[in-house]
Amino acid sequence: MQAWRLFPLGVLLVVAGLGVTVITGCETNPYTGRSQLLMISVSEEMQLGAQAYSQVKNDPKLRQSQDPREIEPVKRIAARIIEAAKRSKYAEMAQQFQWEVIVIKNDKTANAFALPGGKMAVYTGIFPMAKTEAGLAAVMGHEVVHALARHGAERMSQGQLTNAGLQVIGAAAGAAGGGGMLGQAAMAALGVGAQVGVLLPFSRKHESEADYIGILLAADAGYDPRESVALWERMGQMSGSGAPSEFMSTHPSHETRITQLKKWMPEAMAIYQSKPPAHAALLPPVQ
């Protein structure tokens, strides 16, 4: 049984049997200059990501799509986003990742995620909101940035999880090679919120950062970044008045996102116009 305790000044003391490990660290986001407190190593984070991905793939309630019409566009977009990531300011991290992508057949769930280590999943329910491959590239670029920018590790390090959640993470990290199971709190911190049925609950700061860098990656991959604005306009139309207020939500409001994306668009368009355009066909219809 491992016990985790969060100390002041960004020091995490891990007591595991007779061993005591102190982990601390601070990094700067290469795109935004934002300081990040990170107390989990990249290798530990990737182990957690791999374990969470295995848990998702082995979940008997989830079904992977076998339809080439759904799989091929997702894989095509993923390949281009990955290559853009390897050219980005996250190139070193992207080279370390063992990239993989699956399509989960669930037409009622508008969701996608990318875990530490490059493990990605797209739910078919996001297709109507994304509409085109360029729209889905905005979604996938956004999710990939969460992994590359280590937002999950940052959430853990900031103490946003309960003490019980931290114990689960500690146990999972120690058992990553031996079949430990991740709890819901740890899965949420890593960005796996499939049961929620919406894009994942990172903080507003992380979401805005992923929106910004995500459209730069999508543009570098050859996808029109203006589709990100159209995506969030559709999101707003589909959610209607049922969306929570920005103050009560971990996500920026749709209006805030659209305003920010338009502000960043000149930078993204300059990148896009310097690249050969990617194929951007309509995505297949869903039930």
Per-residue pLDDT of 186-239, as tens digits, reads 666 666 653 333 333 457 889 999 999 999 999 999 999 999 999 999 988 877
In whole angstroms, give the CA distance from residue 221 to residue 215.
10
Q: Which is nearest to 218 in space by CA: 151, 171, 256, 264? A: 264
Q: Which is nearest to 267 in space by CA: 226, 209, 208, 207? A: 226
Per-residue pLDDT of 164-194, as tens digits, reads 444 555 555 555 444 445 666 566 666 665 3
Q: What pLDDT is attached to residue 147?
A: 97
Per-residue pLDDT of 120-162, as tens digits, reads 999 999 999 999 999 999 999 999 999 999 998 888 776 544 4
Q: Give me the catalytic one of 44, 70, 133, 143.
A: 143
In whole angstroms, give the CA distance from residue 120 to residue 78.
9
Q: What pLDDT is attached to residue 167?
A: 54
**Structure token digits, residue 144:** 């990939």
In whole angstroms, give the CA distance from residue 84 to residue 95.
11
70 catalytic? Reply is no
Per-residue pLDDT of 31-59, as tens digits, reads 999 999 888 899 999 999 999 999 999 99
What is the chain's mean pLDDT, rounded? 81
Distances in Å between the Cα of 130 and the Cα atoms of 11, 19, 126, 274 are 41, 48, 6, 24
